[in-house]
Every structure is written in C-alpha cells, then in structure tokens.
Amino acid sequence: AAFTGCLVKPLRAASLAARLALAPEIISPDLAPEPPVEPIASARPANGLSILVAEDNEINALLMRSLLTRLGHRVVIATHGDAALESWLAARSAATPYDLVLMDIQMPQLDGIEATKRIRAHEAGAGGHRTPILALTANTLAEDRYACFEAGMDGFLIKPLDREKLDEALAGLIASRHLAV
C-alpha cells in the first residue's frame, strides 16, 4: 500500500518516463521536501533560452530536458553528434539559432569534439553569431579540458550535472547576452 508503482531492472528510459508521467507527486513524511527553486527574475529573460542538448544517454537526456524546462528554457535533444550538427544547421538556416549547445563529448557516429569543430568551421565560413557550446563529460582530466577548448568549446560542465553549476553557467550566458545587445 505504500508504493504507487514499480519498475523492473534493467531500467529503460521509456519505462521510467512512462512511470513518472503516471505517478502522482507524493512526499514521504520521513523526508523533508526539496526547497523550491526561485528563479532570479532580473537574470532570466521572459521566454528563456533555446538550448540544444547533444546527449546519447536516454536517461541523462530526459533529466537534462526536465531540469532545463523547469528552469524556463526550451530544449531540443540530439542523440548523437550528427543529429546535433543537423539540428544546429537547421535552426541557423531558419533564422532561429540556438542560444546554447550542451555537448556530450563521447557520442556514437560523431563525437562532441568533432561536432563542435564542424560547427565552428561553419560559423567561421558564414560569419555572424557564435553559438556558445559547453562540454558535458564525466572526464575531468586536463587533457580532456584542453581538447574541449581546442575544439572551440566555451566551457566545461562535469557529469553528473550539478544543478547549481548549470544554473550559474546559464545565468552567465544570459547576462553576457544582455550586455552584447
């Protein structure tokens, strides 16, 4: 009677998403509720950022979408580097470029480093707006950071993603965007 449902291991992203969509929010009386997150009104634009998340892990992608959506941003998920590049090119050619790309480093087909290099090469050829790209990786070695910056990335976020670090990075981007206007 204390359970509202169950999940079977190994856990699949589709099963988790379906279960979370059906489950009512229940707060355990033994646990303190998570404090509400108050967005900083002065730092957030009314319509949020348009963010491309390149992430091949379905669970990580689902969590990123949920977190970013709750923070007031619009999110598009790409499951590999080729899809991220195609989505970035399509948005740019439609005159609705992404405000930010969160790029996983290790993805199938085309990794995040190579996808970033191709985006930067296209930007150099076409001129105009430079899209901020932040690396998403569990690798914390100096060589990994160097490879990200060498490819043209603007920052580095370590997985598992810390909500506060992500919020700081987004607030910094929003502030710099307002200064550039």
pLDDT in tens, 138-181: 887 889 889 999 999 998 898 888 888 888 888 887 777 654 54
Q: What is the CATH number of the domain that holds 120?
A: 3.40.50.2300
pTM of the full predicted structure?
A: 0.72
User: What is the distance between the alpha carbons of residues 167 and 181, in angstroms, rounded to a whole number?
Assistant: 21
pLDDT in tens, 15-62: 777 766 664 444 444 444 444 544 444 344 456 899 999 999 999 999
Judge whether 52 and 88 are in contact, CB under 8 Å: yes
As for how many domains the chain has, the answer is 1
In a domain, 175, yes or no: yes
- What pLDDT shows up at residue 31? 43
Q: At 96, is the secondary structure helix, strand, or coil?
A: coil
In a domain, 115, yes or no: yes
- What pLDDT shows up at residue 181? 43
Judge whether 119 and 133 are in contact, CB under 8 Å: yes
pLDDT in tens, 56-83: 999 999 989 999 998 889 999 999 999 9
Range of the domain at 127: 47-180
Rounded mean pLDDT of 120-124?
94
